[in-house]
Chains A and B, each alone.
Chain A
Amino acid sequence: MTRKQRRMTIIGGSLAVLALAAALVLNALRDSIVFFSTPTMVAEKHVEPGKRFRLGGLVQPGSLQRGDNLAVTFEVADGGAKLPVAYKGILPDLFREGQGVVAEGALDANGVFKADTVLAKHDETYMPKDVADALKKQGHWKDDYGAQASGGGKPGATTAQGNPQGAVR
C-alpha cells in the first residue's frame, strides 16, 4: 500500500464513522426529543394523544386526590388553563399543592395527562426554572414568587433534587 492509499483508508474510515454518527443523531432527534409545554400551550396547540411531552406549571391547590394503590390525580395550572394529570407512584419529596411541578408523559384519549415521571427539579423557592420562565413569558408570574426568590437570601441555591431525582418511575 502506498502512503497515499494508507492515508485515504484512514480518511475514508473516519468519514464513515462520522457519517454513521450523524445518521444516528438525526434519527434520534426525530423521535427521542421531549418538548416542554404549559397547559395554555397544550390548549392552544392541540397536542395529539400519545405524543410524549413535559408538562410544567403549578399544582392547583385543592386538586390533589389520592386513590387506591398510590394512584394520584391533580391538576396543573398556569393561570391561563388547567390540565388534569393522573399518576401512579410515590410523589417526590418536594411535591406540594400551589407549587411548581414538571411531569413527563402523554395525553390519553380523554384529554388526561398520564404522567409516568414527576420531577421535583427545582430550588428552595419551589419553582422549577422551566416553569418560572414559561410563566414569566405568559405574564402570569406572581409577584410573591419573585419576592420569595430574592428574599431567600441566595436565590437558586438548590436545596434538593438535582437530576430527575426524586423523580418516580
Chain B
Amino acid sequence: MMNPMAAWQDERSVAAPAAPLDARRLRAAFLDLYGRPPLLDERERFAGRGLSELVDEALAGETFWRNWTDEQLYYFLLIDNFHPADGKVEAIPKDLAAATIGVRDAIHRIAISSSFDRRNPGPDTFVTVVMEQLLGLTVQSRVRDLEIGKKLYDGGTGNFLGQTGRSQADVVNIAIEDRRMLELLLEREHERVLRATPDARALKDWTRRLERDDRDFATILREWFLSPAWEARLDLRVPMSNRMFVRSLFVDLADRLPADEEGKRMRGALDGLADARPLRSVLARLILDSGRSNVPEREAITDPTTWVAGVFERLLGRSATPDELATFVAAFHDPECRSTTVVYAVLSHPNYSTW
C-alpha cells in the first residue's frame, strides 16, 4: 500500500506557496503547529515565504508531532504525575513523523498505557472515560454498555459496543476500532486548528479516509491549513492555554523553550487558577527582572519608534496603530520608563494571551 505521507511529501515540492507569511500569519501558524511562536532564526527564515512551506516542514518533523501528542495527553488529563513515561508513548512523535504509525495507533498507545490505567482507576471510571473521551458517548444514557464494559474489565465475556471482548484491553481495542473514535478525534482537531465545528459531510469523508489509512491525517491537516477556513480562523482570537502561554513567554523573552521541568511546573501552577492573570503577570515580571531576557537596555535603543513597532509585531503578531505607537514612544521617553516596562505592558495585556 502506498504511504500517504509520501504522497503529500511529493506534492509539496510542486505546491505553490499559499498566502505569504506576514507577522500575524507567521505567529498564528507557529502557535497552531508547534504550540509556541517562532524563534528568532525561524522568523527570519520563514518571513515572506509561503504557509505551505512551513506546514510541509512541520508535518514531516518530530517537533510538530510532539506538540500534537502533548495536546492529546492533555485532553486525557495525562499530565503531571500521570504523564506517561513508557517508551511506546514516548516514541509516538517519532513514529508519526516517520509515518510508521497513524493517529489511531497513537491514541491506542496512549489508552493502553499504564498512566491511562492509573489515571482512571477501577472499572466504573475506566470504562466511563473510554466511552466519553474516546467515543464521545454520554454514559448516563448508555448504562447497559457501561455495565458490559465493566464486566470485560473484570475479565468476563460480553458484547461491548457491538464487539465481543473479554478483558480490560478489549475495552480499549473495541473503542479504538470504532469509527466514532476517529470522528471525535477529527472533530476535536478541526475545532482546535480551524476553530469551527466541521461540516457533517466533510467529517464523514475525512473519517472514511482515516478508516482506510489513519496515516492520512497528515494530509487532512495540510488541507485544513491551506484552506480558506484557516485564513478565516485568523480573525477568531481565543485564549491561550497555560502551556502555550509559558512556552510563548520563554520564546518571546529568551528565544528558547522552557526546560521540561520548568515548563511543567509553571503550567501546573497556572492551571490551578480560574483566572491565571495574576500568576502569568508574576512569571512575566520574574523573567523580565531576572536579567535573563533578551530585552535590550534602554540605553541601547537608539530608535524607540522602530523598537516599539517591533515589540508589537513580535509579541502581538500585528503592527501597532498610530495611537498605540505614539503613546508607547511618549512613555518610553519618560525617565522612569525602562525598556522592560514597555515589554511588560504588552505581556500583561489580555491581547498577548490570545492568539
B is bound to A = no
B contact set with A: CB distance below 8 Å? none
A contact set with B: CB distance below 8 Å? none
